[in-house]
Amino acid sequence: MNTTTEFPFTLPLGYRDESGAVHREGIMRLSTALDEIAPLKDARVQSNPGYLVIILLSRVITRLGSVEFINPKTLEGLLSGDLLYLQDFYRRINESGHARLRVACPHCQGEFEVEASPVGES
């Protein structure tokens, strides 16, 4: 039985902090029921449902480079490509318990799983 609850990720573009340092490596943990329910009570989400993803990701990202405290303000500074990557990563690890993608070979039609790489990495 796989009991992994934390998953490493690499942002395609990277979060640039106030000093100009770029942070790409991070850790995301599996979400709890509270992680998904609590943001619904947040006034920012009630006035703008699109903000839900920012609150939710700020609860489950436990590390982002050397950034000491991950909060909604941190995630507001992400480029759109990184936010989309994190949303997809969140969905994959919480639906399947791993970050792998199921793919099919275009030649033999055989199916197998691969670890997904961020855009621009191989």
Tell me, letter by letter, the H, E, C secondary structure of 46-94. HHCHHHHHHHHHHHHEEEECCECCCCHHHHHCCCHHHHHHHHHHHHHHH
Please check whether residue 122 lies inside any domain of the structure. no
Q: What is the mean pLDDT of each run of 10 residues along the chain (122 residues)?
A: 82 96 97 95 94 97 95 96 97 76 66 51 46
Please check whether residue 1 lies inside any domain of the structure. no
pLDDT at 115: 55
CB count in 10 Å sphere of residue 94: 16
pLDDT at 96: 76
Structural domains in the chain (count) = 1
Please check whether residue 121 lies inside any domain of the structure. no
Q: What is the span of the domain harbouring residue 68? A: 6-115
| pTM of the shown model | 0.78
